[in-house]
Amino acid sequence: MNRGAGLKIVLAVVGLLFLASGYPLAIFLRQEPALSMMFSLYVTLGVFLLLAIRDPAAHRSLIAFAAWSSFAHAAVMGYQAWRNMISRGELAGVAILVVAGVALIALAPGRRRGMAA
């Protein structure tokens, strides 16, 4: 399997995982407004990651955003778990976000020739 095919698989898996956050979005809509707002961003990002499968090179900045926002979210969740602000069970989510971010960065398409630096 080449790098391009690997990236498309990672985009599909991460996109579907983010899209699946639509279920908790529906559950927490009235109970936790801030949490449902965050999930709405992930659902939207999931849709666009799935659309990026067609031409990942054209969506390089979206892929980078998905990776770096995953790292940022993982850092906040990790800190909150460490400070006992959220359950330690949330560390599984931290690991998933870090793995997703690393995979997206590692497989991200390079710059196209002729693009400004």
Reported pTM:
0.85
CA gap 112, 110 in Å, rounded: 6
Top-confidence residue, 34 or 14:
14
Instruction: Calculate mean pLDDT across residues 56-77.
Output: 96
How much is the pLDDT for 117? 52
Which pair of structure tokens corresponds to residue 48? 């666009």
Instruction: Calculate mean pLDDT across residues 86-105.
Output: 93
**Torsion 24-103-95-70 (CA) sign:** negative
Other CB atoms within 10 A of residue 83 CB: 8
Structural contact between residues 78 and 70, judged by C-beta atoms closer than 8 angstroms: no
Residues whose CB is less than 8 angstroms from the CB of residue 82 and which lie 6 or more positions away in sequence, other chains included: none
Mean pLDDT, the chain, rounded, equals 90
Which pair of structure tokens corresponds to residue 95? 């690991």
